[in-house]
């Protein structure tokens, strides 16, 4: 494929085929979603809903750090390593509706002029539904915490480093993240509701940010792209992840 795996996901959410590389998917027209912009402050606010447990586990997965609890500590807590099936969660529609209302409220505080558009996209569930559908079509799932974290970190890395990631490297990062999460005390202790809230919030942040990137790229808006790169970089730095010091190999994320 000539197009990056994550870029293909982004393009399918927002635009027709990129001029420089054909997409393997039938793409819809540009949507209102691409016009939304999440500032660093707004991203920080939304990531609070993702929660520290999920972000701490994600940070370790991309930096290659060990969990704070040793194997003996985890065993003493009565916890077993997370099976692959436990990275999935059972979704609850009422949880989604309430969560999307809360996210819309937070987004509108930072961008009141976009309130009608935010309400339309968020309260209809369109952003999350499209994001989940795209991951499903590509062999992944919005109901798997490893898949969601992978799309978040790779999408952010691509924006900050102005680069693209191939499907095989995408899979390598996903496997790296899944292995790390399988030993994560935070993930072991999370309920389905907690996994759903964290995953849907992170998926929405990922979808909106990458839709914005794709739109700005097609428009040739370099100033807008620089602002987006800065916002994403600041957001990840606040989590202890310096995306400029990471590169992606056949083993996943590696520190420079």
Give the tens place of pLDDT for each residue, 27-55: 333 455 656 778 888 998 999 989 999 99
The token pair that represents 215 in the structure block: 């739109």
**Predicted local confidence at residue 21, as pLDDT:** 38
pLDDT category at 10 given cuts 50, 70, 90 is very low
More confident residue, 168 or 5: 168
Task: Residue 32: name the closest of 153, 207, 233, 160 by CA.
Answer: 207
Q: Would you kindly state where each structural domain of the chain is located, as residue ranges? A: 5-18+33-62+88-246
Residue written as token pair 């402050």: 41
CA gap 205, 98 in Å, rounded: 17
Mean pLDDT lowest for which of 30-39, 51-60, 71-80? 71-80
pLDDT tens per residue across span 201-243? 999 999 999 888 888 888 899 999 999 999 999 999 999 999 9
Mean predicted lDDT score pLDDT of the chain: 83
Rounded to whole angstroms, how far apart are CA atoms 108 and 38?
10
- In 3D space, the residue among 240, 244, 246 whose CA is nearest the CA of residue 47 turns out to be 240
pTM above 0.95, yes or no: no
Phi-psi category of residue 240: left, alpha or beta, with phi > 0 → left and psi -120 to 50 → alpha: left
């Amino acid at each position: 494929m000539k197009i990056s795996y994550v870029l293909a996901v982004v393009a399918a959410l927002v635009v027709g085929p990129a001029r420089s590389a054909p997409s393997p998917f039938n793409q819809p027209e540009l949507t209102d979603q691409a016009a939304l912009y999440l500032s660093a402050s707004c991203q920080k606010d939304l990531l609070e809903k993702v929660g520290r447990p999920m972000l701490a586990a994600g940070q370790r997965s991309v930096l290659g750090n060990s969990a704070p609890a040793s194997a003996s500590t985890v065993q003493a807590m009565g916890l077993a390593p997370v099976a692959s099936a436990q990275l999935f969660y059972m979704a609850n529609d009422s949880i989604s509706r309430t969560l999307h209302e809360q996210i819309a409220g937070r987004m509108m505080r930072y961008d009141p002029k976009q309130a009608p558009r935010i309400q339309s996209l968020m309260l209809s569930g369109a952003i999350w539904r499209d994001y989940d559908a795209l991951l499903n079509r590509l062999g992944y799932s919005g109901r798997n915490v490893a898949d969601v974290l992978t799309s978040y970190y790779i999408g952010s890395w691509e924006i900050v480093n102005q680069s693209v990631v191939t499907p095989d490297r995408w899979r390598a990062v996903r496997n790296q993240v899944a292995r790390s999460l399988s030993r994560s005390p935070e993930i072991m202790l999370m309920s389905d509701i907690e996994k759903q809230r964290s995953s849907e919030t992170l998926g929405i942040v990922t979808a909106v940010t990458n839709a914005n990137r794709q739109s700005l790229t097609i428009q040739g808006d370099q100033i807008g792209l620089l602002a987006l790169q800065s916002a994403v970089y600041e957001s990840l730095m606040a989590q202890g992840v310096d995306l400029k010091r990471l590169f992606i190999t056949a083993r996943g994320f590696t520190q420079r």
